[in-house]
Amino acid sequence: MGHSIDALPYFRVLATEFSQKADDEVNIWLDMTKNMVSRTFFGHIYPQALALMAAHRMKLAEMAEKHAIGIAPVASISEDGASMSFALNQTDLQGQDGLLMETAYGRQYLEIKRGIYGGGV
């Protein structure tokens, strides 16, 4: 599983809602996520960024399981005209950053990413 293990302590601090998940399962998520997070870009805070992105993906998976995410919710139904419209959320309109905005972990990931790119606060 390579370099993911160094992110586990960060994951445990940042994603306490997943405290019941076994280290082996979390390490699988970290390993599956490591190619989505640039070690070069994040440098010394790579483990934190990786932990946040893995937690984000775990939260999305949990949300998908509970709410069938990815299927646009019905906004309105007309009985006589037999029409149905679907609601689009911000994620549909904002691409990848919009998806990151769906969880607290994704938003934190964006904050540190923008902090590096923008020179910090």
Q: pLDDT tens for residues 29-71?
A: 999 999 999 999 999 999 999 999 999 999 999 988 776 545 5
Long-range contacts of 95-102 (CB under 8 A, 24+ apart): 99/60, 100/56, 102/59, 102/60, 102/63
- DSSP letters along 106-117, please? HHHHHHHHHHHH
Output the pLDDT for position 17: 97
Output the pLDDT for position 64: 82
3-state SS class at 78: strand
What is d(CA 18, CA 34) in angstroms, rounded to the nearest whole number? Answer: 19
User: Is-contact 109 99, C-beta < 8 A?
Assistant: no
